[in-house]
Every structure is written in C-alpha cells, then in structure tokens.
Structure 1
Amino acid sequence: MTFGVVGLCVVVLSYGVTYRTTRSAYSGWWCISLVLFFVSALLFLANDTDVQVVANPLGNTLAVLGAGCVWAAARSLRGRATTWWQLAIAPLVVLVASSLDDPADDIWAGGPFFLSGMAVMLGLSAYELATMLRAGLGQATARAQIRFTLWSLTLTSGMVALYYLLRAVVFVAVGPDDDLFRAAFGSQATTLITLVMLVVVTFSMSEMSHVEQTTDLHEQATHDDLTGVLNRSEFLRRAGAFVAHGSAAVVAADLDGFKALNDGHGHAAGDAALMRFAMVAREVVGDGGLVGRLGGDEFALLVPVASDARETVGRIRARYADGGADGPLPTISFGIAPLDAEVGVKDTIVRADVALYQAKAAGRDRVVVYDGAG
C-alpha cells in the first residue's frame, strides 16, 4: 500500500506538471500505469475479507495491466503506438488463472501467472529501452543527461523484471509461505524495489517527455506530412551516406495522369493514391533503403544494391496494383540510375529523372534504366 500512496502522489504531480504541459505519450502512459498500480494496491487491501474472491483477481490483473502501460511508455519513446488489445493479453491470462484458482481463500491465487506477467511486461519495457540505447535517438542522444536517464530506466526496468521473475521461480519452487520467499520476495522487499523504480520514473518523466517532443518535432521536420516518407531535403541528406558504398541505385517514380485523377475524382483520390504508393514502397524497400517524396506526385527511392533495383521496382508495381485502395489507382512510371559517387546524389536523381521521362515518352507504366544517353 505504501507504493500505492506514493504512486498516487506522483501521478497527481506528474499529470499536473508534466503531462498537461507536454501532452507526451510517455508521461501519459506512466500516469495511467501509476493509477492502475494504486487501484491494484487498494484491491489487495480487501484480502481476508468477503470480497477477496473478486478483489484479489482484479488486483492481480490491474497490476499486470499497469506493467503493460510501462511497456507502452517505453515504446512511445521510439515512436511506436501500443493498442489496448496488445496490452490486454497478459492481464486476461492473469485474470482467468487467478479466478479459476481459489481466490476466496488464497491470497496468492494465480500467483505464478501474476508474477510471470509482471516479469514479462517489465522485461519488454527494458528491451524497448535497451533497443533505443543501441540504435540511438538521433541527435537528441548527444546529451549526456538523456543517455544517463535512458540507462537508468533500462537498468531499473530490467532489475524489477528480474526480481519478479525470481519471485515467480521461488514461488513455484518453495511456495509463498516459505521463509526464503518471505525474506527475499515478501511485501517489504517488493515495496523497496518498486519504490526505487518510482524514484527513477519521477526523475525521468520530465526529461523523457522532452525527448519525445524533440523526436516528434524532428519527425515533422524530416518527413512528408501526407505520406510519412522522407521529405526532399532529408532524403538527399541520408542518401549521401550511401555514396561511398558505390553499389546503390536511385529510382525516380511518378504517378501517371495524376492531375487528371485529381481533376476527375477529387484531391482525396489523389491523396489516397500517393499514400498507397508510399506505403507499398516503404514495405518493399525496407529499413535498408530510403523512400522520399520530392514533391507533388514524384518520389525517389534508394535501393542499397543497384542490381536489385529492377526487381524491387517490379515488386512495388505488383503490390501497388494488387488492390488495397478504395478509389482508382493511376499507373506509375519508373526511372533507375546507379548512384555515382563522382556526380553525387542530386545529379544521380537527375539521371533517374531522364530515365523516368523516357518511360513516360514510351507509353508510361514501365521501367527504364538510365543508359547515359539523352
């Protein structure tokens, strides 16, 4: 209960000071998590009463759901959304297991599932944070304070996850009434561990909410609002890193008859076609390449291996044409040019455009590779 009371104080302050001013998903998820932990602690106070049969399974369930929100908070720092159905799986398992045990007489009904659920969700949080540390947070991670905060969160999440995993193992091995379990994994030790986590979270909430805001602003500055792919300047900047490798190719793509589509079916149809192509291109090119919108209905793709460019374009064409859109979809013309270190990215795009214009002149809806002519 100590953790619940302190947690309630923290959530009130965090909501009023951090979330209301930043509206960051990270602080929002943590506020929800702390509320769930507090309600869970209140429900556990009903142990040894007539309502234990209902309160105890619900307490277990809400605690695991709260740990799931900790995972969602970590995911939000990487720009990843978390749906409620993703969060519901572990709590539902715990609810069923706790309810089917003996919650009327046993305060540890469903104990192994509850402890394992806590370990899994907090472990996933530690994994998300560790992944972020390995990948970096762009230029934001240059600040030592942010990196220290991330390390603190990662180690704390991992430590608490490991603690709950050990609780589950010892619980199954010797039971909750054994002296070993009571001494090392009883309520006093658990309160201490969770209070440490609360201190770290309180310290981190303001800092990481700022990081999330910075990441969002960086996303807005470097990506196209409509399609979500890179904008022109960011595509050129990132493509420059591939010049030294000398094996990439640039693909210019243009939607055929796009103006007629807009005029005949409205801008919504045009936007749908742009978003459809951008989505398919990102899926096919993958994380190893780049997709950018240069302007209007023209896109640029960077394929890391030049010899794969034609095959990549073929897969994009097939998937793009294979349904997935409510309205009409225009055909697409493509021009391919190997990325030449001597001429640079901009001139390679010009070469790809030359090939693209040749594809248009030849009847559209085709792929042309730059051959140095024209």
Structure 2
Amino acid sequence: MVLDVLSLQMAASLVIVVSAVMYLLDTLMLKDALPGRLWATAFLSGVFSAVAYLVWIAVPGAFIAIALGNGAFVAATAFIWLGSVAFNGRPLRVPVVVTAVALVGVVIAALVEGSRAGDWAGAVPLFLANALFAVLGAIETRRGAIARRWSAAGLTVIMGIEAVWFSLRTVVFLAQGPDSEVFQTYFGTSVSAFLTMALVVAAVVVTSVLRTNESALRGNPETRQLIVDRSGVLLRESFGAVLTILVARADAAGEDLCVIGIRVDDLRRVATAFGPEEAEDMARAFRASVRRHAPTMALVGVTDATGLSVAFSTPPATDHRRLVRVLHERLVDDLSDLGTSVVPVVGIGVALASEDGRDGPTLVDRADAKARHAAMSGEQPFGFAAE
C-alpha cells in the first residue's frame, strides 16, 4: 500500500493533535509546574505546525503557512529542551533568548526563499535548528535532577534520534538535493511523517512520567526537593536549604542552631599509601560513625567527599565544647577499631547561628572551615586532641 503525502501528513497531524490534547488535559488537572507547562507548549507548537503544513498542502500558493509551520516545528523541539532546563532548576533567560532568535531566523529564512523554493523553503535552517535543539535537549536530560529519573533516558534517546536524523538530512539535502533517490527514500516527507508519529507518542509517554514525578515533588513553586543518599545523609544543597528554615524556627523558639563540621582530609593520602580499598573502608566507617553518634534528631549532610556536617537546635546554655569533644572521641574510637594501617586525623569545627549568621549554607561553610583547620593543626574546639 502506497500512501500519498496528504494522507501521511493527516495521519501525523492526528497523532500530534490527540497526543497534545491528552497532555494538555493532564496539565490542567495536575496544575502543572513550569517544566510541564513548557512541555505542553511543545506539543501545542507541534499541533500548530501540523495545521500549517496541512494548509500548505491544501493551498500550495500560501507559502507563509510553510514559514509558520517551520517555526512551530522547531519550537516543538526547543520547548522540550526548555522544559528539561526548567526541570533542572537552571536559569531560563539565555535558553529563551537562543530559542527566540532561532525561531525568528527559521521563519525569516522560509519567507525570504518564498514560493520559488516550494515545499523546501527554509529547509536547511529548519533542519539545523531542529538538530541543534535536539542535541541541547539530549545533553540537558543527562544532567541535574532530570538525569536522576530513569524515564529521562527515553527522552535522551528521542532527542538523540532526532538530532542524528536531522543532521544527516541536512547533509544529504545539501549534497544531492531533495529530488535525489537517497533523500526521497530515507529523508523524504513520508519518512519524516512516520518518524514524527513515533517520536511524538514516545515523547508524550516519557514527559508524562517525568511531569508526574516533578509535580509530586516540586509542583508547588514554594517547595523544594530534598535529596538524601542511601545512607540517609542529605546532599549539600538540600542540607543548606533545610538549615535556613531551621535557623528561623530555632530563633523563634529562643534556641540556637549548632552546625558541627567534621573532616578526615587525609583519606587521599591513605589511598595513595595503602590503596583505595583501605581509604574506602575508612570513608564508609566515618559516615556510619557520624550518623550513629550524632544527636537523634540531628540532620546529617554532605559537605564534600571527605566532610560531613551535623546540625541541631540547642538551648542557649549548652556546653558545645563538651558535646564536640565526646563526638570527636567516639569517631576516633570507631576509626581506630577498624584495624587499618593508619587512623586518619579527624578535624571538627562548630558554627552557631547566634555567632556566625542565620544563613544555612554560610553556617555549613564556617563549620567546615574550622574543621579543616582542626584537621591540619590538631587544634580542636575543645583544645588539642591527644595523638
């Protein structure tokens, strides 16, 4: 069975319209956050491009329709990228400017070539822009928060296929022309329609899964996603965000917030001298010991590869020197019990909201700086530690 261009374009348009309607209904019902709204805009752009191309097929002289269709087609890919950028919480100003410039360029290129170029007016800018945004989208789905969602791999594959196909389409178009047998067989309108249908359906499924997770975790712009590793330790950004909230609550309750920084900076030297396995054993024991001996309701967060932070509220009269001395002794005892070739030097530092400021990340940095100094000099907050 051989399908003509109009039939294939109508089939592709139907798939795009149905997918977009379903996605938009979900968007309205979930009261989606910015990533979901941007992805919904991508599907709306796809609908607009499909309608514009149908107008061009039905009325060949209306070449302005193909210019608008080209711009909308590129916008569909660009908004998938923008949604991924928003999902990762990165600034959108520069990506939006890049998108706007590209869209204007694609539309103007088609208008300049006009009716003399026929169906392929502005084809090269269209192909290149789609390839560009597909590459950017594939890269963005492999970084940040979206990369931690297994379903994002599907979106990476979709954008990767689109990038490769449009890049090859550009090369063949320039080298052999749109009427060549190779172009018509592998990169013509019929192949494009089938590819569009497959990719749109796949993109709807993947972005719907991502959008559901994103809405549940970060749908309210006033909320933040907290990330905890397998051992129950908060990652640095999450730890700092929680601290800022706890500082305000402790202040309102007439309490102070204490942040203890703990470091074992000589793990790298241990790895060099005695092997990475021994250093890894020490690192695991260090993390487990900090979690075990920290106050029950304390938060434990990552500072960096060799440092942790512990935060908790305390009454104003708390003896912090005694508290950190006991914690330091227990940590050193646990590391000594490992029976390794050497016991790493543990440095400990204390930062108080009443003395060091009421910003969470600042408190972490100050406690860590004091712990680093203690690890290098041996001068702990409670005095010099016994060797």
- Give yes or no for TM over 0.5: yes
Distance 1:223 1:208, change over 3 A: farther
2:212 is aligned with 1:224: no
| Counterpart among 25, 32, 35 of residue 26 in structure 1 | 35
Could you tell me which amino acid in structure 1 is paired with residue 18 of structure 2?
A: C
- Matching residue of 2:190: 188
Summarize the Cα distance change of 1:223–1:55 in structure 2 as closer, same or farther, 3 Å threshold: farther
- 8 Å contact 2:349–2:374 — kept in the other structure? no
Residues 16-72 of structure 1 show CA distances to partners (whole Å, capped at 9, x for unaligned) of 235531513333222111111111121122336365232121111111112110101
**Deviating more after overlay: 247-256 vs 96-105:** 247-256
Question: 2:99 corresponds to which residue?
Answer: 87
**Match for residue 338 of structure 1?**
372
SS at match of 1:238: strand
- Counterpart of 1:179 in structure 2 is 181
**Secondary structure of the residue that 2:306 maps to in structure 1?**
helix
> Which residues of structure 2 form unaligned runs of 5+?
1-8, 227-237, 249-256, 260-297, 309-343
Among candidates 361, 368, 374, match of residue 292 of structure 1: 361
1:116-138: CA deviation from partner (whole Å, max 9, x where unpaired): 00111111111111234xx886x
Whether the 8 Å CA contact 2:34–2:83 is kept in 1: the answer is yes
What is the match of residue 262 of structure 2?
none
Between structure 1 and structure 2, the one with the greater Rg is 2
Whether contact under 8 Å (2:169, 2:183) holds in the other structure is yes
Tell me the distance in 1 between the aligned counterparts of 2:134 and 2:247. 33
Q: Give the Cα–Cα distance (whole angstroms) in 1 for the partners of residues 38 and 159 of structure 2.
A: 15
- 1:55 counterpart = 2:58: no
- Answer whether contact 1:37 1:63 (CA < 8 A) is retained: yes
- 5 Å-filtered alignment, 1:133-144, equals 141=148
How far apart, CA to CA, are the structure 1 residues paired with 2:161 and 2:22? 25
Supply the AA of the counterpart residue of 1:187.
T
Could you say if the C-alpha distance between residues 238 and 99 of structure 1 is closer, same or farther in structure 2, counting changes exceeding 3 Å?
Answer: same
Q: Any idea what SS the aligned residue of 1:239 has?
A: strand
CA RMSD of aligned residues (A): 4.2
1:78, CA displacement in angstroms? Answer: 1.5
CA distance in 1, matches of 2:356, 2:374: 30
Partner of residue 110, structure 2: 98
The alpha-carbon distance between structure 1 residues 337 and 223, as it changes in their structure 2 partners (threshold 3 A), is closer
Q: Is the 8 A contact 2:55 2:65 kept in 1?
A: yes
CA–CA separation in structure 1 for the residues paired with 2:371 and 2:56: 71
Q: Distance in 1 between matches of 2:115 and 2:348?
A: 63
CA 1:177/1:76 → structure 2, altered by over 3 Å: closer, same or farther?
Answer: same
Q: 1:51 to 1:106 in 2, by over 3 A?
A: closer
> Aligned-pair distance for 1:166?
0.8
| Runs of 4 or more above 6 Å deviation | 225-235, 244-251, 253-258
**What is the aligned partner in structure 1 of residue 48 from structure 2?**
39
- The equivalent residue for 2:164 is 162
Residues 200 and 105 (structure 1), Cα distance of their counterparts in 2 relative to 1, 3 Å cut: closer
Q: CA offset at residue 95 of structure 1?
A: 1.9
Unmatched runs of 5 consecutive residues or more in structure 1: 259-273, 279-290, 294-298, 307-335, 355-369
CA distance in structure 2 between the aligned counterparts of 1:73 and 1:121, rounded to whole angstroms? 12
Cα shift readout 1:182-238 (whole Å, capped 9, x = no counterpart):
110111211222222122222223321233235535536755389799998898411
CA 1:62–1:240 in 2, change beyond 3 Å: closer, same or farther?
A: closer
CA distance in 2, matches of 1:241, 1:118: 40
Q: 1:13 to 1:248 in 2, by over 3 A?
A: farther
| Percentage of pairs with the same residue | 20
Letter in 2 for 1:300: V
In structure 2, distance between residues paired with 1:50 and 1:86: 31
Report if aligned partners of 1:77, 1:208 keep a CA contact under 8 Å in 2: no
What number of residue pairs does the alignment pair up?
275
8 Å contact from structure 1 (residues 26, 205) kept in 2: no
